[in-house]
Chains A and B, each alone.
Chain A
Amino acid sequence: VQLQESGPGLVKPSQTLSLTCTVSGDSISNSEYYWSWIRQHPGKGLEWIGYIHSSGHSYYNPSLKSRVITSADTSKNQFSLRLSSVTAADTAVYYCAGEAWPYYFDYWGHGTLVTVSS
C-alpha cells in the first residue's frame, strides 16, 4: 500500500491549506482503516490532525477542529484535508496515513512540506 500527498507547498496567511492523499494498493472504502492526517512542525514531534473513515465519519483533534475538514473521493481513491485560516504556526510537513485497528498508523505517505508565508 502506498500513499502520496499532493498540494501547494506555499500558502498565504489567512488562506486555506488543501492537500490530497492518493492511495494505491488498497481501497479507501476498506472499513478496516481510518484515513488520517498527521503533521510535523520543523524539528518537532508529530501531531495528529484527524481522520475520515469509509463510513463517512470524521474526527478531528479538538485543538484544530474549528479549522479542519476532511473528505474522500472513492472514485479516485483519494482523501483530502482542508485547514482554514492558516498562520505561520501551521507550517509543517503534512503526512497522510492509514490507521489500523487498534489505533496504530500502519501506512504513511512520504510527507509534504507546507509553508505559510506571504
Chain B
Amino acid sequence: QSALTQPPSASGSPGQSVTISCTGTSSDIGGYNYVSWYQQHPGKAPKLIIYEVIKRPSGVPDRFSASKSGSTASLTVSGLQAEDEADYYCSSYAGSNNLRVFGGGTKLTVL
C-alpha cells in the first residue's frame, strides 16, 4: 500500500484536459512544498515533469501544470496528446523520518 493515494486510472480525449489527484497527510504533502510528479511510459524509467509542487523542468511542455491544496496535490494535463498516455506518479518529502514517499500511480489513457 502506497503512502500517497492516487486514482488508478484517468482518461480523456485528445485536446481535452485531465486532472490527477494525489492525497497524503499533514506529514508529507500537507507539511511541505516538496511535491514532484513523474511520467513513466511502459518499460521506461520515470521522468521528472514537476518539482516543488508547481515547477516544470526545462523541456517539459507547459501543457503540464500542477497545484496543491492542503494535503492533496494535483497534476493537470491540458490539450491531451497521444504521447501523454503513460503512468503518472506523485512523490513528496515526508520529513518525520526523512522519507520520500510515492503514490501508487495513475494510468492515463488518451481515448
Docked CA distance A111–B26 (Å): 31
B binding-site residues for A, Cβ under 8 Å: 2, 32, 34, 36, 38, 44-48, 51-52, 57, 89, 91-93, 97-105
Q: Known: A102-B93, A104-B52, A110-B45. Is A48-B101 also a contact (CB below 8 A)?
A: yes
Q: In the complex the two chains form, what is the Cα distance from A106 to B101 in whole Å?
A: 16
- Interface residue total, chain A, C-beta cutoff 8 A: 21
- A47 proximity list for chain B (CB < 8 A): 102
Contact of A61 with B99 at beta-carbon distance under 8 Å, contacts A102-B52, A104-B36, A105-B46 already known: yes
Min distance, Cβ A45 to any Cβ of chain B, angstroms:
4
Please tell me which one of the listed residues B2, B48, B99 contacts residue A104 in the complex, with CB atoms under 8 A apart.
B48
Pairs A–B under 8 Å by Cβ, sample size 18: A45-B103, A45-B104, A45-B105, A46-B38, A46-B89, A46-B102, A48-B101, A48-B102, A59-B98, A95-B46, A100-B51, A102-B52, A102-B93, A103-B91, A104-B48, A104-B52, A104-B91, A105-B91
